[in-house]
Chain A
Amino acid sequence: MRKIAKEKLGALLAAVGRDKPLYIPALDASGQARFTRWHEGLEMARALNTVRSAKDFFFPQTENLVDFKVKGKQIEIIDPRSEQEDFVLFGVRACDARSFEILDKVFLADPVDTYYQSRREHGTVVTLACTQPEETCFCSAFGIDAAAPEGDAQVWMDEEYLYLSARTQKGDKFLESVRALAEDGGEDAVQRQQEETRRVMAKTPLAGLNLEGFDGEHLNPLFDSEKWAELSQACLGCGTCTFVCPTCQCYDIRDFDTGDGVRRFRCWDSCMYSDFTKMAHGNPRLTQVERFRQRFMHKLVYFPANNDGQYGCVGCGRCLSKCPISMNIVKVAKELSKEVR
């Protein structure tokens, strides 16, 4: 373990950000934290989490897949990708760090999504351990330790020092780039902080969220539950929960007519939308009850059934704080658990 005095945080960011794009959580004009490209003088936000998750950097909201240009009777096909450069994400929380594992299962499974893959290969994820969880946090329900986040390199921060440790080769490279600023030590301080964080985490109201019974075995009783109508009653059908979610991975591919060709782009889609998975024959989910059910069944039942029990949720709590009507995965899980226990 290495440690760096906290007043050298600016120097650390500069050492990394000078050579390649570095993104850190910073406050925006509305006072919320978001990952922002580092520049000299940009201050790191102390907020627990960013409004949008870190998935944007690997799976952006819109991305250009291919361009078609029409010239006379010729159609030129253009790959719009330029060479992906290395970049660093600094200050990713444990929940978001785990979300990459979930996204990997989707995008890196055969057939591999090369757009996503290239970003994953070139991105270094430096995580930051949490110290002050919110009441909306429930990462512990998914076996995530907020005090020991995953990622390529981990950082713990207290009032005096940043403590750094690498977990992968990319993490080693990151530590190497800030070697001049660092000294050895800090295991004890980190351990103390971890114990304190875990103590607070255990006191959070959602810490005991029990997901027993949410698995492929109980697919039918869960799917057929009468609770869905009641739970989805107030749902507005907006895409807020989906778009702030670190693990939502559904997308649509659309064509934009540029006047002299077509730009084929991919953009996030939301199962809450009326045209989600709309096909030639129409839409398989006609009402909001079905769309609402799809979101939660996917995260709590279908995904674990297909991925060795791993849930499609990391408990970051963003949907809990952002839903316009305050309906969320925790309320759904608590209500539906009555069907399977």
Chain B
Amino acid sequence: MQDVKTFRPKIVAFCCNWCSYAGADLAGTNRLNYPADVKIIRVPCSCRVNPMFILRAFQRGADGVILCGCHPGDCHYSTGNYYARRRMTLLFSMLDYLGIEKERTRVEWVSAAEGAKFAATMNEFVETVRQLGPNKRLEDLRCKK
């Protein structure tokens, strides 16, 4: 097991194209710091993220997965994030039921204006996952380098 001090978690962040990806951009243009361990995957809407995406991210080596979308009510497609909200709630609950650390998954609503929130969320999430250590319970040994 890697030392907690030196462990740098791999984080996958699914960001919706309209709000959260723009929020991440804003964090960048404002020169706000957040760890480089966060890898952003842009999706058209938070509801594009299917539970399999989350699991596959863990399989391929992620230690934490976060989904960011427009605030409820502000979805570019009106209702996409409402569906995503239900799906992710149930999925996270199921992961917890299987004994998989619930702190490794998260949903945050980040608008295009919330660069600071994006950076703060990522800083906090990376720290949470760093404390948890490497993902063991949803890893695929074949993908270990």
Point out residues on A near B: beta carbons under 8 Å.
Answer: 256, 258-260, 263
Residues A260 and B142 in contact, CB atoms below 8 Å apart: no
Q: Kindly provide the distance from the CB of A51 to the nearest chain B CB, expressed in whole angstroms.
A: 23
Point out residues on B near A: beta carbons under 8 Å.
Answer: 60-61, 142-143, 145
Contact residues of B: prevailing secondary structure = loop
Q: Kindly provide the distance from the CB of B57 to the nearest chain A CB, expressed in whole angstroms.
A: 12
Residues A256 and B145 in contact, CB atoms below 8 Å apart: no
| Chain A residues, Cβ within 8 Å of B145 | 259-260
| Chain B residues, Cβ within 8 Å of A263 | 142
* Residue among A256, A258, A263 with most chain B CB within 10 A: A258
Q: Kindly provide the distance from the CB of A258 to the nearest chain B CB, expressed in whole angstroms.
A: 5
Contacts A259-B60, A260-B145 supplied; 7 other A-B pairs, CB < 8 Å: A256-B142, A258-B142, A258-B143, A259-B61, A259-B143, A259-B145, A263-B142
9 A-B residue pairs with Cβ-Cβ distance under 8 Å, sorted by A, are A256-B142, A258-B142, A258-B143, A259-B60, A259-B61, A259-B143, A259-B145, A260-B145, A263-B142
Bound CA–CA A256/B61 (angstroms) = 15
Q: Nearest CB to that of A263 among chain B residues?
A: B142
Bound CA–CA A258/B142 (angstroms) = 6
Contact residues of A: prevailing secondary structure = loop
Q: Nearest CB to that of A67 among chain B residues?
A: B142
Bound CA–CA A259/B60 (angstroms) = 8
Q: Kindly provide the distance from the CB of B26 to the nearest chain A CB, expressed in whole angstroms.
A: 32
Bound CA–CA A263/B144 (angstroms) = 12
Q: Kindly provide the distance from the CB of B95 to the nearest chain A CB, expressed in whole angstroms.
A: 22
Q: Kindly provide the distance from the CB of A61 to the nearest chain B CB, expressed in whole angstroms.
A: 15
Q: Nearest CB to that of A64 among chain B residues?
A: B142
* Residue among B61, B142, B143, B145 with most chain A CB within 10 A: B142
Bound CA–CA A237/B60 (angstroms) = 31
Q: Nearest CB to that of B144 among chain A residues?
A: A258
Q: Nearest CB to that of B145 among chain A residues?
A: A260
| Chain A residues, Cβ within 8 Å of B61 | 259
Bound CA–CA A259/B61 (angstroms) = 10
| Chain B residues, Cβ within 8 Å of A260 | 145
| Chain A residues, Cβ within 8 Å of B143 | 258-259
Q: Kindly provide the distance from the CB of A255 to the nearest chain B CB, expressed in whole angstroms.
A: 11
Q: Kindly provide the distance from the CB of A262 to the nearest chain B CB, expressed in whole angstroms.
A: 10
| Chain B residues, Cβ within 8 Å of A258 | 142-143
Bound CA–CA A77/B145 (angstroms) = 16
Q: Kindly provide the distance from the CB of A110 to the nearest chain B CB, expressed in whole angstroms.
A: 32
Q: Nearest CB to that of B60 among chain A residues?
A: A259
Q: Kindly provide the distance from the CB of B47 to the nearest chain A CB, expressed in whole angstroms.
A: 27
| Chain B residues, Cβ within 8 Å of A256 | 142
| Chain A residues, Cβ within 8 Å of B60 | 259
Q: Kindly provide the distance from the CB of B141 to the nearest chain A CB, expressed in whole angstroms.
A: 10
Bound CA–CA A256/B141 (angstroms) = 12
Bound CA–CA A194/B10 (angstroms) = 63
Bound CA–CA A260/B60 (angstroms) = 11
* Residue among A259, A260, A263 with most chain B CB within 10 A: A259
Bound CA–CA A256/B142 (angstroms) = 8
Q: Nearest CB to that of B141 among chain A residues?
A: A258
Q: Kindly provide the distance from the CB of B134 to the nearest chain A CB, expressed in whole angstroms.
A: 16
| Chain A residues, Cβ within 8 Å of B142 | 256, 258, 263
User: Which 9 residue pairs are nearest across A and B when measured between Cβ atoms?
Assistant: A258-B142, A259-B143, A258-B143, A263-B142, A256-B142, A260-B145, A259-B60, A259-B61, A259-B145
Bound CA–CA A260/B61 (angstroms) = 12
Q: Nearest CB to that of B59 among chain A residues?
A: A259
Bound CA–CA A61/B27 (angstroms) = 50
